[in-house]
Structure 1
């Protein structure tokens, strides 16, 4: 599933390909992918331009020259695709914008978990959907405050989008591995130093992933992503990586490195 670094890459891609071109048509093969009626997207996007982007966690907001802001969520397999010829429309490009320069913007969405929405205000949308400030911009003070009175596992907490918008499953595993914190450690049992270590690890993982365009093979050798599977070998201890469920999600960790 695209998480913060992947969606950041989509933002950069859209910024470099799809802005400041007039939208001449809107096509959607499956209206279940739209949070508003198809007619609303036609009304508010046709003859307008995409003028800029803003990302909050896994949500991408595309400002327009009109009165509405386009909201994209990429679900499990969503991604943008900018192409020229009509015949090059990707197989799973269920939503397509056409621009006045003859190029197209496709929203690829193989498993159809991604979607589009429209909003009047990014900040109002953030609050309505209970999103924190983007995890990349999150301050230590905000992070600490969001953990107050929490009584569950740290992994479940840092995947909560109201705590750290953009952090998903693989990032949470990586953050806790870098912080040497067991995923089942309860927040109420964590010292202030532990919380600061998790916060610092979160910032490190975000920046490393963005720096390498979320290409996992390019991550530093001590990153869990290189051996994030059951029975693999921990970089630090040589012990086996274990798998379990935390908050209903598959979780990979090194018991000797991340002691409970």
Structure 2
């Protein structure tokens, strides 16, 4: 499931593969991933332009062109790949941008839960205004204020993109495990020290994950054991608990992350 670290990896793909290269051709293999734009308009607006940048905010990847901005969201299974125009088409390739004479940027997505938007400046601003600050950049005071105001669970607060942008299910569980906080704890009930620890551990997890371009399944991390049928906490050896918090599948250590009283 692409989250902030994965999308940062896709940003690097866009930057290295297509930045400042002329968009020679746009091919749409499946219009089901286009939102608010037709196949014809996508071609008319983009062919002949250049991708002038590669930006990310939370789970959104932004590709400005000097005109409209291509906004990509990867849902559960989306990917961005740099290929050659002659490479065999994958069954889940949905849109391809041929850039220059020898490269092709492909949006690939099995489940098609999200996709591509074409946004002018006003539409781009509306989308980003609905997002919280990027999780990799949010400062301590802003984070503290946003978490303190929440009435729901910590898991819900961390995965709400209007509160903090970029954290999904895997990251939230990993961050809370590092911070020794139960996912069902009430966000507004944390002490100052707990909020400080949560912010510090979020930044630590994100730095390592961005370098790996995913939430790495390390033996010393929760993610390295969450898919084991009888996974054990890598910190204390207790068998991990599994359940649902805020409507999401959740994994935690009952010893390191005690339930709220």
Instruction: Indicate the residue corresponding to 2:233 in structure 1.
Output: 234
Q: Residues 71-90 of structure 1 correspond to what in structure 2 (within 5 A)? A: 71-90=71-90
Answer yes or no: is the 8 Å Cα contact 1:74–1:109 preserved in 2.
yes
Confirm whether residue 114 of structure 1 aligns to residue 114 of structure 2. Answer: yes
TM-score (norm 1): 0.93
Instruction: Indicate the residue corresponding to 1:42 in structure 2.
Output: 43
Shift, 1:100, TM fit? 3.1
Distance in 2 between residues matched to 1:20 and 1:3, nearest whole Å: 26
Shift, 1:73, TM fit? 0.5
Distance in 2 between residues matched to 1:231 and 1:161, nearest whole Å: 31
Q: Residues 59-70 of structure 1 correspond to what in structure 2 (within 5 A)? A: 59-65=60-66, 67-70=67-70
Q: Residues 93-242 of structure 1 correspond to what in structure 2 (within 5 A)? A: 93-121=93-121, 122-127=124-129, 130-214=130-214, 216-217=216-217, 219=218, 221-229=219-227, 231-242=230-241
Answer yes or no: is the 8 Å Cα contact 1:89–1:106 preserved in 2.
no
Q: Which runs of 5+ in 1 are unaligned?
A: none
Distance in 1 between residues matched to 2:94 and 2:212, nearest whole Å: 29
Answer yes or no: is the 8 Å Cα contact 1:25–1:99 preserved in 2.
yes
Number of residue pairs the alignment of both structures matches: 255
Shift, 1:215, TM fit? 6.4
Answer yes or no: is the 8 Å Cα contact 1:180–1:258 preserved in 2.
yes
Distance in 1 between residues matched to 2:184 and 2:153, nearest whole Å: 5
More divergent stretch after superposition (145-154 vs 169-178) = 145-154
Flag the 1:163–1:215 CA change in 2: closer, same or farther, 3 A.
Answer: closer
More divergent stretch after superposition (178-187 vs 98-107) = 98-107
Q: Which runs of 5+ in 2 are unaligned?
A: none
Deviations 1:27-74 (A, max 9, x none): 112222111222221121110011111100110000113x11110001
Shift, 1:191, TM fit? 0.8
Answer yes or no: is the 8 Å Cα contact 2:68–2:119 preserved in 1.
yes
RMSD: 1.6
Shift, 1:87, TM fit? 4.5
Shift, 1:238, TM fit? 1.3
Distance in 1 between residues matched to 2:220 and 2:29, nearest whole Å: 44
